[in-house]
Amino acid sequence: MAFKTVLDRTFKHRVAVQVPVDGGHKEETFKATFRLLDAAAIEDFDLGSVEGTSDFLRAVIVDMDELVKEDNTPDQYCDDLRDKIILFTPARVALVRAYFDGAGKGRRKN
């Protein structure tokens, strides 16, 4: 298959969040649609800081699917919900991992 020179790409990837529970973790999953950034754009984010990682995730997250509320009813994606999820440490780790795994194991900083 020929390489398409499309510069504005998105991709969907499953996000596996390891949520802490007493004595261990449980895995909760959802799907996220990400905007693929070029290498130069990624270098503009300080992925070693809370603010830089949050800015990066806001830039790359386009949508989230399969989100549910505590009572298991569907939850609708919006920027406000995205920002709350981004600040939940297990989810932010999983989102960064899912982005780079889905983008083809690109260069990632801690």
Could you tell me the residue ranges of all domains in the chain?
Answer: 10-102
Mean pLDDT of 66-80: 96
Query: Minimal CA–CA distance to 53: which of 106, 19, 7, 99?
Result: 99
Using alpha carbons, list the distances in angstroms from residue 51 to 39, 83, 86. Answer: 19, 12, 11
User: How do strand 61-65 and strand 24-35 relate by DSSP bridges?
Assistant: antiparallel
Strand ranges, E, within the chain = 10-21, 24-35, 61-65
Mean pLDDT of 39-52: 94
Given a cut of 80, whether residue 107 has pLDDT beyond it is no
Mean pLDDT of 24-42: 95
Mean pLDDT of 17-41: 95
Single-letter code of the amino acid located at 56: F
User: Residue 105 — very low, low, confident or very high, per pLDDT cuts 50/70/90?
Assistant: low
The Cα 43–Cα 37 span in angstroms is 10
pTM beyond 0.95: the answer is no
User: Residue 110 — very low, low, confident or very high, per pLDDT cuts 50/70/90?
Assistant: very low
Backbone angles phi, psi at 46, to 5 degrees: -90, 90
Single-letter code of the amino acid located at 23: G
